[in-house]
Structure 1
């Protein structure tokens, strides 16, 4: 099928957006609201800390700190990969193979970052009390997306 020339950039942008959306970090999706972007790792961590009992907050923070260097480095590499996708899009003459390669690299960087952050999150949640994990699970089940303890009865 032949696509009109004006539709190709829109399809490409849609494909890029869909590719990135499919690779979002699972942890970020835990508290995502359709009218807001997924929270950054730091915002997600702060949100979980607000939900936790006071005794678990510092334990969780220390456990998350242990993995921070790894997932922050992966996040920096991910951001750096966006420049390659943008450069491939702007290249004249346009080279679809270069764009595919840049998108594949970006997808791999998303996966790397996601895995490292999820590992940190799992370690952080493993370090806290069963009661703390229960509070996080209850908050997720309630769908309380407005600031943890402040939004509770």
Structure 2
């Protein structure tokens, strides 16, 4: 399971021209699910997401997590994060989870996120989404939860 996080001053997601989720300061999470991913990996990635220290403290050092800055999380499913880009000029998706497994794990992840964090917004699984953001820094990290 892969999560690309971006520290943002604002982010939103629209489907068919209508905003379905938005946050102010916080983290934008693009979540990619691979075929062998499990709920245990989702739990590991969630722990990393909520505790990863990417926000500045009083000394301008990255020492604070999203909860410590009272930030939001915008979680978006992103199939293309499961792509294999090692060969050729076209991505391969043989390592991606089936749509059913990906949706199950995405829904599980979001439910756990909402249970542990007060400000959560989401996109719509498998929808054609338009994501807008202001990356603060820019600060972007790829988090992975492997067995």
Fold shared by both chains (TM-score > 0.5): no
Task: Flag the structure with higher strand content.
Answer: 2
Task: Flag the structure with higher helix content.
Answer: 1
| TM score, norm. by length of structure 2 | 0.26
| TM score, norm. by length of structure 1 | 0.25
